[in-house]
Amino acid sequence: MIVAEPKPLEEIALSIAGYKNVLILGCGTCVSVCLTGGDKEAWILADELITSKYFKDTPPSFSVQTIERQCEKDMLEVYLKMPPETDAVLSMACGAGVQTVSEIFKTLPVLPALNTTFLGALEETRLWREKCQGCGNCILALTAGVCPVSRCAKKLFNGPCGGSSKGKCEISQEVDCAWQLIIDRLEGLGRIEDYGRIIPSRDWSTDRGGGPRKLIRPDRDSSISKS
């Protein structure tokens, strides 16, 4: 899932200072699961921001709504009922949601309440760790389900670096060496011979180096051109 963390209240207050009527818009999917952007969090944020200590002048008036996904234009157009007096939107979605709301409501400033951090997974109660960077060319079949792109500090593809020690990364003893995890997993699967396979040089054209990416599925809708 997309994981995000709340911006500091002081930063949020500064971004909405000067507006009179602000809609705090929660998002009910990824950021709801990681406890930063759902309906409950939207109401909590409204209660926190109404405290005058964050504003030099009178705080804005806040309204609160939550929709399932802010990153879908159709859902925004159908389900979001924008209060007519709204002069700014404070979005509790990831960066994709903030930008999509901006595209729909072109005359309103749409401001982020969260910092989008990574694609992650829940490891234990209230702890999410980065698992994926969306590189566009997944090699998890070769690395026993452990991603060296996101979990190795150097993004190495053919074994650990010389800085790893006792299964830990040289950047911190709190960080597991991704390749030690891969080796352990391969051993557990009875596939340790795969460790000797050379992974070809990486084609990074599917990553962010090629600019903003898109996905088109013409096989799912005959009305979409393959060009």
pLDDT at 226: 46
Supply the CATH number for residue 62's domain. 3.40.50
Q: Hey, what's the torsion of the CAs at 184, 188, 189, 195, to 10 degrees?
A: 30
DSSP three-state, residue 208: helix
Using 50, 70 and 90 to split pLDDT, how confident is the model at 227?
A: very low
Q: What are phi and psi of 147, to 5 degrees?
A: -90, 115
Q: For residue 98, give its domain range.
A: 2-118
For 66-107, the pLDDT digits (tens) are 999 999 999 999 999 999 999 999 999 999 999 999 999 999
- Per-residue pLDDT averaged across 10-18, rounded? 93
Pair 77, 167 in one domain: no
pLDDT at 219: 73
Lowest mean pLDDT among 51-55, 56-60, 146-150, 181-185: 51-55
Pair 152, 56 in one domain: no
Pair 69, 164 in one domain: no
Measured distance CA(160)–CA(146) in Å, rounded: 13
Sheet order of strands, 88-92 included: 61-67, 21-27, 88-92, 110-112
pLDDT at 47: 95
Tell whether 129 is covered by a domain.
no
pLDDT at 112: 95
165's tokens: 């020690």
Pair 53, 111 in one domain: yes
- Per-residue pLDDT averaged across 124-138, rounded? 87
Measured distance CA(76)–CA(13) in Å, rounded: 25
Q: What are phi and psi of 112, to 5 degrees?
A: -80, 135
Tell whether 210 is covered by a domain.
no
Tell whether 218 is covered by a domain.
no
Pair 66, 164 in one domain: no
Q: Domain tally for the chain?
A: 2
9's tokens: 């209240």
Pair 89, 176 in one domain: no
Q: What are phi and psi of 19, to 5 degrees?
A: -90, 150
Measured distance CA(42)–CA(98) in Å, rounded: 15
* 8 A C-beta contact, residue 181 and residue 140: no
Tell whether 190 is covered by a domain.
yes
Tell whether 70 is covered by a domain.
yes
β-bridge mates for residue 124, sequence order: 127
Phi-psi region of 30 (alpha: psi -120 to 50; beta: other; left: phi over 0): alpha
pLDDT at 200: 78
Runs of H (alpha helix) within the chain:
9-16, 30-33, 39-49, 73-79, 95-104, 148-151, 178-188
Tell whether 108 is covered by a domain.
yes
